[in-house]
Structure 1
């Protein structure tokens, strides 16, 4: 599903997210304080604007509150990333992904409203871009064009249902509604269920590790999946 994505901070990491998101088919607005960065990215995204992510009036004028997803990819300016995250949530952006430089920064971003925290050392820009369509997908790893592995936190409506009941067949023989394979389920701190069968019942807090097409990963976690 095509999303409206705004990316703040156009260093190497931010540019990678912006360009890949555009290639995938999302509508992308790229924002940076530096004019040169805007010039470099403008031909590769839907729109680009020179602005300060900590300027609330500028964000309102750009209409960022109407976007589906915001990615705060600014570098080591911790105060800017925190303030930008707060402003985006206050403006009503439903899903804000913020880059952290260390664990303390990440924990602080979570406290001020970031829905997801990413670390460039662990997450590539390309993989982040592929995970944007499905906001519940974490730690996406691309294996081929539009195909990869992702972790999905069990949605509330999944809890107490079997894999088969939510349209998955685990690793059993049969047709899966979403054409996804459940590789394993992380449950609690140490419990890992490898290659679960279709009768495995999902519990609150479960993390499903799935492989399949990006569209199917999105469909599984979207509100209109049925």
Structure 2
């Protein structure tokens, strides 16, 4: 049975970022109208999206013809051409689109997009670079930042809490992090409760301030062989 259809989304720019967003939205059950000025990209994405159109979305009249103002959300995935991304956001704002997401290549680009009408600005390259750097320099197996110095990370259980239930290890009191869940080799992910016993080789999903997560990840891991990332 196919997934229930959700609100349609307009995605402008089908490069690496915009194309990935469009295909993911389609898989999630959204109807997606993808638009790009490059005919080759339009042909590439035609089999994967609800509808794909070759058009110049820096023109308000063009967007009006596409019915841009009928979409609750629009994603502007243009990144390399800063002028085109700004003009597209400005045109969408002029049409009264209420939820505009736009990709920015740097902070200055992001500020301009916000001032021209973008409601949400994302920095995919910056976020990914940050994530990779932290994973390389610490024992962080995965890392997602939510801004305001808060993040969620996946780490190997440190030796100091192995063999103890969470209520006894007092991670929140001693390390200022909260253990959200535990993944044990060959078992399903479990949500952590005070009585959850931490075993050697466990992978923990923890939340907290970035500096506290990094300090927690730097603790000596348990002697059990670490689990593969996909375990």
TM > 0.5 between the two? yes
- CA RMSD in angstroms comes to 3.1
2:94 alignment counterpart: 90
Is 2:33 aligned against 1:29?
Answer: yes
TM-score for the superposition, normalised by structure 2? 0.54
For residues 1-226 of structure 1, the aligned pairs below 5 Å read: 2-122=6-126, 151=146, 183=207
Aligned-pair CA distance for 1:120: 2.2
Q: Deviations over 1:59-79 (max 9, x none)?
A: 111101110111111131111
| Distance in 1 separating the partners of 2:14 and 2:65 | 20
Over 3 Å counting, the alpha-carbon distance change for 1:120 and 1:150 in structure 2 is closer
Aligned-pair CA distance for 1:150: 8.3
Residues paired across the two proteins, number: 145
TM-score for the superposition, normalised by structure 1? 0.55
Higher relative CO (CA 8 A, sep ≥ 6), structure 1 or 2?
1
Structure 1 unaligned regions, length at least 5? 125-142, 144-148, 154-170, 174-181, 191-226
| Distance in 2 separating the partners of 1:151 and 1:102 | 18
Task: Report SS of the residue matched to 1:10.
Answer: coil
| Distance in 1 separating the partners of 2:145 and 2:99 | 18
The ranges of structure 1 where at least 4 consecutive aligned residues each deviate by more than 4 angstroms after the TM superposition are 149-153, 182-186
